[in-house]
């Protein structure tokens, strides 16, 4: 039953380029667009708290429609008990507190809390599937340990704002993400250790195993698979070994190629690189507002992002919110 329901269920995560990018505002707009659909909602950590601990600014609550299911703390379930129905106590804890899966009995504004670890979020997706939602929405993050790297994710929406820096800093980050989306994929087993030509090694990480990997590359295998990330530290030790177009270099996910722009260009020129998983960005939402008063003209921001992601829709979060 679960497999059948999840097959037809979109699992969409919203990831921000930085904190205070406007993810919650965009999430609320997206929730409202799912009228007459059964949706499940969670987040990485907390979302909808009253005050931002960094800027001191008031934050928007998450707007949960009637019949939607979502995750939160047990004390929030108790506080809003007339508006919520507790469906299941979940086997996850966040900052020492129990999580509950709840159903909204009416339209409410509240705080959502979800597990931080990817494995726990993947388990939560399976639990959501038991309730047959049409869509699962996850307020996620953009890092090598986040849910956006999971093969359970069907769509990613990138949210970016002036809080990420000036226009040139934002462009550099977005150009890197563009590379992630354009990396070709290659079907291969999900090996949990470094593997080459179907020979599994005992090592998961590239870091501190550079000499061992260099010896493998010297044998010119047909392919080598890395389940983890390559960073500048490891690259500097391996770049003279990574010089063969005949060996397919396969990473688990594009975001695991975590080396600086100039060296990344060299890596691509001298090697044949693939990813086991893709990075399915569907849409980009931009926010010209900065809590640090370093706002960016919205038309300029949209144009610069559209020049990079020519095949994606770039939308203005403020315009979306005002349209509700």
Q: What does 30-84 look like in DSSP terms, one character per residue?
A: HHHT-TTS-EEEEESEEES-SB-TTT--B-PPEEEPTT-EEEEEHHHHHHTTTTE
User: What residue ranges do the domains of the chain occupy?
Assistant: 2-182+279-323, 195-275
Residue at token pair 């005992």:
202
Q: How much is the average pLDDT of 174-179? A: 93
Q: Name the architecture of domain 2-182+279-323.
A: 3-Layer(aba) Sandwich (3.40)
Confidence tier at 322 by pLDDT (50, 70, 90)? confident
If DSSP codes are grouped into helix, strand and coil, which group holds residue 114? strand
pLDDT digits (tens, 9 = 90+) for 197-216: 999 999 999 999 999 999 99
Answer whether residue 85 shows pLDDT above 70: yes
Minimum mean pLDDT range among 43-57, 84-98, 142-156, 207-221: 43-57
């Amino acid at each position: 039953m679960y497999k059948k329901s999840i097959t037809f269920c979109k699992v969409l995560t919203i990831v921000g380029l930085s904190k205070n990018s406007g993810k919650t505002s965009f999430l609320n707009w997206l929730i409202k667009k799912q009228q007459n659909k059964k949706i499940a909602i969670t987040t990485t950590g907390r979302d909808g708290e009253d005050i931002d601990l960094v800027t001191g600014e008031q934050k928007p609550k998450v707007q949960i429609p009637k019949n939607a299911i979502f995750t939160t703390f047990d004390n929030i379930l108790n506080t809003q008990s007339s508006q919520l129905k507790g469906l299941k106590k979940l086997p996850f804890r966040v900052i020492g507190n129990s999580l509950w899966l709840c159903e909204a009995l009416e339209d409410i504004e509240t705080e959502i809390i979800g597990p931080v670890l990817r494995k726990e979020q993947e388990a939560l997706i399976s639990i959501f599937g038991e309730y047959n939602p049409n869509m699962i929405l996850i307020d996620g993050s953009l890092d090598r340990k986040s849910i956006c790297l999971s093969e359970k994710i069907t769509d990613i929406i990138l949210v970016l704002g002036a809080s990420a820096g000036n226009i040139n800093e934002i462009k550099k980050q977005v150009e890197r993400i563009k590379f992630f989306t354009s990396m070709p994929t290659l079907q291969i087993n999900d090996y949990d250790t470094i593997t080459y030509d179907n020979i599994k090694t005992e090592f998961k990480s590239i870091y501190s195993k550079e000499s061992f990997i260099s010896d493998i590359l010297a044998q010119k295998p047909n392919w080598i698979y890395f389940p983890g990330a390559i960073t500048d530290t490891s690259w500097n030790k391996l770049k003279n070994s990574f010089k063969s177009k005949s060996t397919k270099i396969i990473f688990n996910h594009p975001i695991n190629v975590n080396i600086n722009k100039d060296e990344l260009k060299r890596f691509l020129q001298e090697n044949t690189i693939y990813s086991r998983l893709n990075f399915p960005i569907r849409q980009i939402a931009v926010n010209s507002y900065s809590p640090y008063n370093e706002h960016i003209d919205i038309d300029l921001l949209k144009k610069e992002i559209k020049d990079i992601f020519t095949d994606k829709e770039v939308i203005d979060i403020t315009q979306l919110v005002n349209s509700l």
